[in-house]
Structure 1
Amino acid sequence: MKESLRKNYIYNMIFQLIAILAPFITTPYVSRVLGADGIGEYSYGLSVVTYFAIFGTLGITTYGQIEIAKIRDNQKQLKCLITEVMAARVLTMLLSCITYISVIALSNAHSKMLLVLLLYLLSQISDVSWILQGLEEFQSLVIRNIIIKIVNIVMLFLFIQNRTDLYLYAGIMQGTVFVGNFFLWPYVWKYFLPSIFSINVLLKHWRASMAYFIPTVATTIYTVLDKSMIGWITHSDFQNGFYEQAHKIEQILVVVLTSLGTVTLPRITNMFNKHDDKGIKIIMKKTITLVLFISIPMCFGLIAIADRFIPLFLGKGYNECIILTQIFSLLIIVVGLDNTIGRQCLMAANRQNLFNKGVIWGAIVNVCLNLILIPKLGAIGAAISSVCAELLILVIFVYYSKDLLDFSIKKSLVNYLVSATLMFILLKTLELKLNDSIFSIIVIITAGVCFYIIGLLIMKESLAKEILIQSINFLIKRKHF
């Protein structure tokens, strides 16, 4: 089981990294070609279409993943469930598409962009990745994502040449995802049954998924609504562009941590179903320790190098992204823990109502702070609001799941903070001695990682020792092979 979980984590981490590292590769080029205002228009349009996607899925994606994990050993029940949930999902998404098209017809602002982004809703209809995630079959997801992202990168560099290609850019970004979804259908087709459902069957799944719909809406308020409110209040595509690019950098790092929750959710749900409390606590302790081990140096390191990294990465005209990136860097730790504790402890333990309370309070705080801070600080105010909201959610999640958590990780936490602080000092010192270049950034990051690990080894941190030993064993096996 341990080997299977590690394998699935690696697969899912690759899946998530490919999905977000592709923009990381293209962002320096796109930010220069389309400009902050072009990126801002795309970001605003995407925030609008996301609302319709959320109301179309009604939380069915998470609901389906969890329910599949519960009964995946019973093939007959599994096929019935997948077929019914998929039918419920497609129907609500079609209704959402019709509503969206009606809104576009009545809209004057950004109507062309919104029409292109209809592809986003169509990709939601054809998406079956949630089925494979519930079954813990991540290899096919990785293969699909690699193919699609390579095609996406090639098309962007070939066809996006100037600001007038903005709508083509939006079409490529969403169209490749839509087409890519069909690469997964051969893996899941065997789970679908040729059935006709009564409205009662569909209503059963819609009602059950509502428990997951509420936190999805609340989460959207403090992730997507930020971009909408920036547009509504500042009337500036530039502010949205700054926010989007800085947030994207943080997401690239956060994805390594959220991969843990995606992989372990089906496993822990299955363990709760079997009342394996001891196994749950062991996985939770290891997962939280690993999240802290990775997220703390990421946060400190990004704060340290942001003022040098942003101009090199995004180009001229993005100086406001420096402070935004430094603020968002705090979310690397907080979102990593939110995702781990919220999804693994509360959702897997059927404490969905407690999970909902946390994200609803976070959404309320975020909206209130946005109304106060965005008029004064623009995108910076929205970023501060997001960090405050996520911190509140983390406190609430920890409170509601304290009986499932092992708090004997305090010593490791102190070690990570001490080593990361010393690493931060080293990075700032190196910045003063090196020139502005990509090579210097690589040197600084490499030195920081090595210093952080060495610091933990000196403090005899067990996780660092375990990772070092496994890495050496892996290299020895490769050499022997």
Structure 2
Amino acid sequence: MKKRSLTFNTIIYGFRTIINFLFPLITFPYASRILSVDSMGKVNFSASIVSYFSLLAGLGIQTFAVREGAKIREDRKKTSEFASEIFTLNLITTLLAYALFLLMLACNEKWHEYTGIMLIISLTVPLTTIGMEWVFTIYEDFFYITVRSVIVQIASIIFLFLFVKTDKDLYLYAVYTVFSAVGANILNVFLVHKHVDIRLHISKKILPCMKPILILFASTAACQVYLYSDTTILGYLTSDADVAKYNAAVKVYNLVKNVLLVIGTVSMPRLAGLLSDENLDRYKGLFTKLFNVLILLIVPCVVGLIVVGKNAVVILAGARYVQAGTILQILSLAVPASILGSFVASAGLVLFGKEVLILKATIAAALLNIVLNIILIPSVGVEAAAITTVLSECLAFIIEYRGLQEKKIVSGIVKNMIQTGIASAVMGIVCYGVLSCFGSSLIVGTACSVAAGVVIYALLLRLQRNQIFDEMYAKMKTKIVRK
């Protein structure tokens, strides 16, 4: 199997992630103006409820499948048998999760007013399972994943503009939400045979795998709780309008977060391969390099969100969502802990078999998030949900990073942190100054501020002779010259 470079995989999968979040950000201004704030809140609340059953259906299987599948992917027969066992297990958990969802939907009176929307959004559960995205991740087939995603996102936009015309089209908007999120998985069903031969297969060999799978599931569950409990608790303690405002901020926050998480996603199979070959030194070198790259990207993103966050939300969602700007500024402080914590967990702790530590970290974070949400939301309001997210992400990262450093994996990051901190601080001042010069010209001012920030940040890194930036710059320059 021909391996593409990590740089190519990162760029192409990063493009896919941007597309997956950029298209909704393009369509969100349209939807938020067509649908009322309350209607948007209903969709957001329904999605948060369904997410818990999606989590139960997934059972932590994807992370385990990528980790173990990457070790045997050169042998099609072994990989096909392994993939068939994993898919069969996933199918069983999906059926159980969906049955539980329908039962709770029938019994919970609070959910009855959301029944239609929840049923539509619940289609994400089986579509995620049959999509078997983890197979394509095992084989680092990120080019296919990206092309497929672009096609589906374009089709979903056409659907939105053609059929969602008034506030009465709420259910059609829910259909759009499902199709844009997991519609691409339908194509996977017809193309998965490119890598493996899938069949229904139950084997006793899967039993020893259940312990790490269940630990990963528990970790993912705890993580999901503190990611979505904000929306769920807001839905119970406040209004649909507050839920919509909070989720408007979360959309922008998730765009930044998921683009940066690409590095962890595309590097995990490669790092797993290095460990399986017992090449620990090369693993440490690559891990540290990627950790430094993340620092280089994260710090300016945080500063940028703080400076232009309010403008970004108003541009995307309209003046009715102005409160979401403050929420986004608070959430931006969670970006470093969230991104670095996810990278440490998926590309570090999981590969060393330290799933229990991840579980402890995520349970601690989830409990902190839920308790603080219940205490603070009634008195502080919707902003409290953002504050608790920041504190929870920081707690999880501290626990996970300390656990990884027992193996002395990360080193040589202090100089890079200082240089990116200085460059980002100056960039923030410049961005704020540019933004102030344009006054009420919201779109032009924000665009110019961001452009100026990127240029200033790059120049300052060059002046400081930042090693990571210089390597990236030299590689890009070489490729451009060759073309």
SS at the partner of 1:224?
A: helix
Question: In the alignment, what sits opposite 2:444?
Answer: 439
SS at the partner of 1:350?
A: coil
Distance 1:205 1:459 in 2: 49
Question: In the alignment, what sits opposite 2:231?
Answer: 227
Question: In the alignment, what sits opposite 1:460?
Answer: 465
Verify: 1:390 aligned to 2:388, yes or no: no
1:120-139 to structure 2, matched below 5 A, reads 120-139=124-143
1:11-410 to structure 2, matched below 5 A, reads 11-107=12-108, 108-189=112-193, 191-194=196-199, 196-197=201-202, 200-201=204-205, 203-234=207-238, 236-402=239-405, 403-410=407-414
Distance 2:123 2:198 in 1: 27
Contact 2:70 2:272 in 1 (8 A): yes
What is the deviation of 1:122? 2.4
Aligned length in residues: 476
Contact 1:123 1:174 in 2 (8 A): no
Distance 1:223 1:177 in 2: 18
List per-residue Cα deviations over 1:76-130 (Å, max 9, x = no partner): 2111100010011011101211222222233423112112222122212322111
CA change 1:122–1:460 in 2 (3 A) is same
Aligned pair partner of 1:472 in 469, 472, 477: 477
Distance 1:51 1:361 in 2: 18
CA change 1:250–1:179 in 2 (3 A) is closer
1:209 alignment partner AA: I
Distance 1:94 1:11 in 2: 34
What is the deviation of 1:218? 0.4
2:411 alignment partner AA: F
Distance 2:118 2:266 in 1: 33
- Of 41-50 and 263-272, deviating more is 263-272
CA change 1:38–1:84 in 2 (3 A) is same
Contact 1:122 1:178 in 2 (8 A): no
CA change 1:88–1:204 in 2 (3 A) is farther
What is the deviation of 1:312? 2.2
Distance 2:377 2:200 in 1: 51
Distance 2:181 2:474 in 1: 39
Unaligned regions of 5+ residues in structure 1, if any?
none
SS at the partner of 1:183?
A: helix
List per-residue Cα deviations over 1:218-262 (Å, max 9, x = no partner): 00111011111111122x001111111101101111122110111
SS at the partner of 1:390?
A: helix
Distance 2:459 2:182 in 1: 45
TM-score under structure 1 length normalisation: 0.95
TM-score under structure 2 length normalisation: 0.94
Contact 2:88 2:200 in 1 (8 A): no
List per-residue Cα deviations over 1:165-210 (Å, max 9, x = no partner): 1111011221354542121223322523545425x45545444410
Distance 1:4 1:465 in 2: 19
Distance 1:395 1:196 in 2: 41
2:49 alignment partner AA: V
CA change 1:35–1:475 in 2 (3 A) is farther
SS at the partner of 1:141?
A: helix
List per-residue Cα deviations over 1:2-32 (Å, max 9, x = no partner): 9622222222212222221111111111122
2:50 alignment partner AA: V
What is the deviation of 1:365? 1.1
2:394 alignment partner AA: L
SS at the partner of 1:367?
A: helix
1:32 alignment partner AA: R
Question: In the alignment, what sits opposite 2:430?
Answer: 426
Contact 1:104 1:115 in 2 (8 A): no
Contact 1:222 1:389 in 2 (8 A): yes
Contact 1:60 1:206 in 2 (8 A): no
Contact 1:93 1:124 in 2 (8 A): no
The root-mean-square deviation of aligned C-alpha atoms, in Å, is: 1.8
Distance 2:473 2:185 in 1: 38
Contact 2:127 2:186 in 1 (8 A): no
What is the deviation of 1:311? 2.0
CA change 1:194–1:278 in 2 (3 A) is same
What is the deviation of 1:423? 0.8
